[in-house]
Every structure is written in C-alpha cells, then in structure tokens.
Structure 1
C-alpha cells in the first residue's frame, strides 16, 4: 500500500526508480505520480549539487551511486508520470510531461551512455505523442503510428499494440488491419520476460486483445485469448493481470465451448494443487479437499 509519509523519507534515487516499476506492475497510477515527482526532485537536487561543486572547484559527487545516467532518471521520472496521468485520463498533463523529456540535451557533462539515453528518450517522446493523439480520438494518425512501430525498436511493439487496442476500444473503431500488420511479431512472443514492466505489457496486451474481440463479437477467439492470458499471467506470476482476465473469462463463460471450459477448470485445479502444497494437514485430491495426517 502506497504511503506518502514513507515516500518523503526516501532519498535513494535507485530505490525510487524500482518503486516506480513496482507500482506500474500493480497499475498504481496515483502512487506513480507521487513517486515520479519525488524521483524528479531527487535527481534534480543531485544534479544541481554536482554542478555547484564543479563551479566551486570541489570534487564532484560520486556518480557510481547511480545505476544509470542522470539523463535517464530525469527522463524516466517524467515518462512514468506521463504514463500514469495518461492512464488516469489527464492527457493535457501527460503532454506537459512529454515536453520535459523530449529534449534533455541541456544536461551538462553527459557521457556516451547519457547521450544515448537522451536519444532514446526523444524517441519515447515521439511515440507517446502518437499515443495521446490516438487516445484523444485522432484515429487518422493510426497508419503513421503503425509505420512508427515498424521502424522503432522492438520494445515499442507491445506498448504500441496496447495503444492501438485502447484507442479502438475507447472510440469504438475497428483496427483489425493494424493488428494484422503485427500478427507474425505477436505470434513469435514467448512470454519469457524478466522485468515487471515487460510482464505487465505482455499480459495487458492479451487482456486488451481479448476485450477487443469480445467487443466486436468474436467470442470464441476472445475466450481463447483469455485462456492464454490466464496461463501466461499464472506462469509469470502477474496477479494483477490474472484477476482482470479471470473476471473477463468468467463473465463470458456462458458462451464458452466444452473444451474451453475444461481448459479453464484444469488450469484452476492445477493452481489449487500448487497452492495447497504449502498448507499442512490438507490436500486436494482432484475433486475435493481432504484432511491428511
């Protein structure tokens, strides 16, 4: 549970970055705004103190305290805040965040890593501008955004698909042609992700894809995608995603085939058996819970 009083006591820049990632995985949008502001304030204080020391001819702050460049933390704080504000529907404030990380070349003393981060953040700013345009209903920019995803780094694929699906659902548009463009890329994804952020993107794209198909009446496909989402969110230990997709499947389970219901039941039995392994004195025998000595 987010605690603003505890946040005020934290000054470790690396820890604040990790907290942002954790809140993103939990859809903690309000908490992300507060943590992002704290991170931005902290990296700004770090940078200003370092600049002041240099001006006075004093030894610089040990940058080894940071795992990434100063530019990265400046940018990431505003990227995270912008995403949270976007998720909460405050598109104007999200655009203000984009402006703050679209050009960070003003930061003094950047090494090669820092310069690469500035370039990467400029690309993210461009991508997130497309995102806001689409979410605001400017669907005529979709072909341009599809081309942008094709030309961008691989990490933009899932956020891009999520944006396309969110905008389609929000504005009741058919985007089958755009999804078809990336079908081979999506089919090649295996769900082997290491970071919480990438897991969140992977599971969310399955959730939204299922929701999109439900909305367009493709119930059979939607249920199959939901089942895949349940399998993968269980495998990747994404409880947030599992809850959302499970609610979706159960709500439409009346339309499920016998095979789909069987797959759903087998999955839940497997989960129950795994959970009860840690419970003393009881066991699941496949149809009921029994006491054991």
Structure 2
C-alpha cells in the first residue's frame, strides 16, 4: 500500500522509476501522481545542482548511478503523471504534462542517448494528444490516430488499441473498422511479456475488447475473449487483471455456453490445485478435498 511518509524518504531515482511502473500495474493512479512528482523533483534537483557546479567550474554531479539519461527521467515522470491524471479524468492537467514533455530539448549537455530520449518523448506527446482528443469525444481524429499507430513504433500498438476501445465505450461509438485495421497484428500477439507495463497493456486490451463486445451484445465473442484474458492473467501472474476479468465473466455467465463454462471451471480447478499443492495434509482431486496422507 502506498505510504507518502515513506515516499518522502526515498532519494534513489531508479527506485522511484521502478515504483511508478509497479503502481501502474496496480492501477493506483493517485499514488502514481505522488511518485511522479517526487521523481520529477529529484531529477530536477540533481540537474540544477549539476548546472550550478558547472557555472562555478566545480566538479560535476556524479550521474553514474543513473541507469538512463537525465532527459529520460524528466520525460518519464511527466508521462506517467499524465497517464494517471488521464485515468482520473483530469484531462486539462494531463494536457499540461504532455506540453511539458513534448519538448525536452532545453536540457543541456545531452549525449546521443539523451537526444534519442527527447525524440521519443516528442513522439509519445503526439500519441497522447490524440488519446485525449478521442477520450474527449473528438472521434473525427480517429482516422489520423489509426494512421499514427501504423507509422509509430511497435510499442504504440496496445496503448493505441486501448485508447480506441476506451473512447468507443465512453462515447458509444462503433470502431469495428479501426480494430479490423490491426486484426492481424493483434492476432499475432502471444502474451509473452515480462515487464509490468507491457503485461498491463496486454491484459487491459483484452479486458476492454470483452467490454466492447458485451456492450454490442456479442456475448459469445466477449466471453471467449474473457476466457483468453483469464488464462493469460493467470499465466502472467497479473492479479489486478484477473480480478476484474473474472468479475466480468461471472456477471455475464448466464450467456455462456456449456463449453465456455467448462473451460472456466477447468481453469479455476487448475488454479486451485496449484495453490493447494503446498498445503500439508490436504489434496484436491478436481472435485473434492481428500487427505494427502
């Protein structure tokens, strides 16, 4: 659980970055705002101290402990804060963050890595401007956004699909044509993700796809997607995703076929067998508990 007092005592910039990723995985938006602010303050303090030392012709601040460029930490803190504010429906504040990380070229002394990070965040700013436009209901920009996703880096695919689905759900739009544009790429995804951020995106796109189909009363498709999402959430150890997808399936299980219910029950039996494996004196045989002695 997030603790603001503990946060104040943390000075490790790399640790703050890891904490942001973790809170994103847990979907704790308020915690993300606080941690992002602390990360931004910390990197700003380090940068300004380094600039002051240079002006006084003193030894520069040791930045060897940083895993990435100074530009990365400035941009990352603002991106993550903007995402959290967007999730909290504070679009004006999210746009303010986008404006700040859209141009980080003011940072002096950038090496090639730093310049690449500046360019990367400029691209992210363009993407997230489309995101806010769509979430605010400006669906006229959807064709432009679809083309942007086609032309952007591969990592923009899942965030882009999530945005399209979120905007469709909020504003009750049919976006089948846009989803069809990326059908082959989405079908090719295998769910082999390792980072918390990528796992979150992968599971959330399935969750939203299920919701989108439910809203259109495509129950069979929605429940099949939910079953896939449950299996992948379990495989990827994503408890956050599993909880909400499980609630979704149970809530609409009256529309499930016998085959879908059997698949759901088989998955839960497998999970129960696994969690009880280390319990002493008890064994689950698939239908009941028996003595393991």
Deviation at 1:64, TM superposition (A): 1.1
Mapped partners of 2:108, 2:29: distance in 1: 31
Greater Cα shift, 51-60 or 242-251:
51-60
Mapped partners of 1:248, 1:237: distance in 2: 18
- Report 1:99-248 matches (<5 A): 99-248=99-248
The residue aligned with 1:10 is 10
Deviation at 1:63, TM superposition (A): 1.5
Deviation by residue 1:88-137 (Cα, 9 ceiling, x = unmatched): 00000000000110000000000000000000000000000000000000
Mapped partners of 2:64, 2:149: distance in 1: 34
The residue aligned with 2:62 is 62
Q: Secondary structure at the match of 2:64?
A: helix
Matched, 1:88 2:92: no
The residue aligned with 1:74 is 74
The residue aligned with 2:22 is 22
Deviation at 1:278, TM superposition (A): 1.7
Q: Secondary structure at the match of 1:280?
A: coil
Deviation by residue 1:9-44 (Cα, 9 ceiling, x = unmatched): 001000000000000000010000000000000000
Matched, 1:35 2:35: yes
Mapped partners of 1:292, 1:226: distance in 2: 34
Mapped partners of 1:222, 1:174: distance in 2: 15
Deviation at 1:292, TM superposition (A): 2.5
Mapped partners of 1:95, 1:25: distance in 2: 22
Deviation by residue 1:220-254 (Cα, 9 ceiling, x = unmatched): 00000000000000000000000010000001111
Mapped partners of 2:292, 2:146: distance in 1: 58
Give runs of ≥4 in structure 1 deviating > 3 Å.
none
Deviation at 1:61, TM superposition (A): 1.4
Mapped partners of 1:208, 1:74: distance in 2: 31
Deviation by residue 1:178-233 (Cα, 9 ceiling, x = unmatched): 00000000000000011000000000000000000000111000000000000000
Deviation by residue 1:44-101 (Cα, 9 ceiling, x = unmatched): 0000011111111111112211000000000000000000000000000000000110
Unmatched 5+ stretches in structure 1: none
Mapped partners of 1:23, 1:287: distance in 2: 37
Q: Secondary structure at the match of 2:194?
A: coil
Mapped partners of 2:60, 2:278: distance in 1: 52
How many residues align structurally?
293
Deviation at 1:291, TM superposition (A): 2.7
Provide the TM-score with structure 1 as the length reference.
0.99
Mapped partners of 2:199, 2:139: distance in 1: 27
Mapped partners of 1:58, 1:272: distance in 2: 62
Matched, 1:275 2:268: no
Q: Secondary structure at the match of 1:75?
A: helix
Mapped partners of 1:126, 1:101: distance in 2: 10
Provide the TM-score with structure 2 as the length reference.
0.99
